[in-house]
Amino acid sequence: MSTPFIDLTARDTWELREVTRRAVGRVACRALMVLWHVEGLSALEISQRLACHRDTVSLWLERYRALGVSGLEDDARSGRPPHLDAAVRAQVEAALEQSPSEADQPQACWTLKHLRTVFQQVCVTPFCLETLRRTVHQLGFRWRRPRLWAHKEDPETFEKQLLVELARQQTEAQNAPPADAAEPDNTVHFLYADASDQRLLAVIRSMWMRRGRQVRVQTPPQNAHWSLFGALDVCQGTFHWQAYGQAISGTFIQFMEYLLVVYPRGEILLVVDNASYHTSKIVVAWLKIHPRILPIYLPTRRPDLNPVERIWGGLKDAISANRSFGDLFTLGTYIRKHFERLSPSQLLAQAGVRNDFCEAT
């Protein structure tokens, strides 16, 4: 049966040529069928050029005659049914919410291969790992590192936090202006104290670098370190620090002796964590003969309650991020310059402590 001739206008011809240049391959071929038909080729000759059946050519010529250029597009269709139906997807989601059972396989977490092994037995059609990966992502799961947490909390967490807060409020009330010109002997100083190791080896942080040219950070000849002890005065906004060879009870005692020199009068409330060099027998014995320093211990496993931790983090970001040091003297120089640049308000802001009295003065 012969196909009726199609008469094209100049605009129709232009549209069909645009389709041959811009559309996907099969749609472009259908536009060529129409153009070649207008040039006088039969359906048989066109099918031989495109290596298809003549009925296929006739079909698309009829579609174009009835619907125009839009008739050359594929009709909407549902597509192939998914390998993992809704029921299996729900089972995969429920499995990922908990660890694998030890009876099934003694693994701490699921892997794609393990999931495929388990659910291939209940799925009617086989599926590949890439299909499973795509399904897991669609369910909202990502492959990320977990975070450690303390499984045992201090039963006295609330009481210790309350004691720290009450001591701080009383100290701020006592030191609030107006103040006498001379510091009285019963002045109370409230300090947060903590220790941190600052090493010659760089702390690796994300940074901007040109694509394909990864920045290299040279490692030092040896990874020596300074053990820093620091104390933040939340009333004055001052940060007192000293560098030692290692963080042990002896150096902590030296640091407390340094604080007694900094504060020659009054009582010092020193908030510290439960590190061994804060609670050892030698430290307790020293505190008994130096009653001006009264330690207040934070809840165990809660370093986030000590604002000095954020000051140490700011120090590492400022001087140690992606920078190695050749010797301890140079590292110490950078540490000293870093703290000299920080004002009391900047220190308190970095520590996450607000003190209106310090800002006013």
Taking only the tens place, the pLDDT of each residue in 316-354 is 999 988 899 999 999 999 999 999 999 999 999 999 886
Q: Is 133 in the same domain as 161?
A: no
Asked if residue 341 is part of any domain, the answer here is yes
Position 3 in a domain: no
Establish if 264 belongs to a structural domain.
Answer: yes
Rounded CA separation 100/235 (Å):
52
pLDDT of residue 2: 57
| Tokens matching residue 12 | 């129709």
- Confidence tier at 210 by pLDDT (50, 70, 90): confident
Lowest mean pLDDT among 41-50, 150-159, 269-278: 150-159
Strand order in the sheet with 238-244: 238-244, 225-233, 188-199, 267-272, 293-297
pLDDT at residue number 179:
46
Q: Model confidence over 16-48: pLDDT tens digits? A: 888 888 887 888 899 999 999 988 888 899 999
Flag the least confident range among 99-103, 243-247, 265-269, 346-350.
99-103
Domain shared by 225 and 334, yes or no: yes
Digit-coded pLDDT (tens) for 284-311: 999 999 999 999 898 887 888 899 999 9
Domain ranges, residue 105 = 86-138
Task: Classify residue 256: in a domain, yes or no.
Answer: yes
And the tokens for 353? 């402590």
Average pLDDT over residues 61-77: 86
CATH number (domain holding residue 342): 3.30.420.10
Q: Are residues 65 and 106 in the same domain?
A: no
Q: Report yes or no on 79 lying in a domain.
A: no
Q: Are residues 320 and 250 in the same domain?
A: yes
Dihedral through CA 157, CA 160, CA 163, CA 164, nearest 10?
A: -100
> 60 vs 106, which has greater pLDDT?
60
Domain count, the chain: 3
Please work out, in degrees rounded to the nearest 5, the angle formed at the alpha carbon of residue 350 by the alpha carbons of 348 and 355.
20
Does the residue 294 lie in any domain? yes
- In this prediction, residue 359 carries a pLDDT of 43
E strands, the chain, where?
188-199, 225-233, 238-244, 267-272, 293-297
Per-residue pLDDT at 360: 40
pTM of the model: 0.60
**Is the same domain home to 172 and 317?**
yes
Within a domain: 145: no
Pair (20, 91) in one structural domain: no
Alpha helices in 82-156 (DSSP H): 86-96, 112-119, 129-138
Does 179 lie in the same domain as 113? no
Domain identity same for 168 and 134:
no
**Do 242 and 228 touch, CB atoms closer than 8 A?**
yes
Looking at the structure, do residues 170 and 67 belong to the same domain, yes or no? Answer: no
Same domain, 41 and 126: no
Q: Are 297 and 324 a contacting pair, CB within 8 Å?
A: no
Statement to judge: residues 55 and 91 lie in one domain: no
Distance of CA 245 to the CA centre of its chain: 33
**Residue 133 falls inside a structural domain:** yes
**295 three-state secondary structure:** strand
Residues 97, 166 share a domain: no
Give the residue-averaged pLDDT of 37-65: 90
pLDDT value, residue 144:
80
Average pLDDT, the chain: 84
pLDDT of 203: 87
Domain boundary among 72, 95, 124: 72
- Residue 187: how many CB atoms within 10 A of its CB? 17
* pLDDT tier at 152, thresholds 50, 70, 90: low
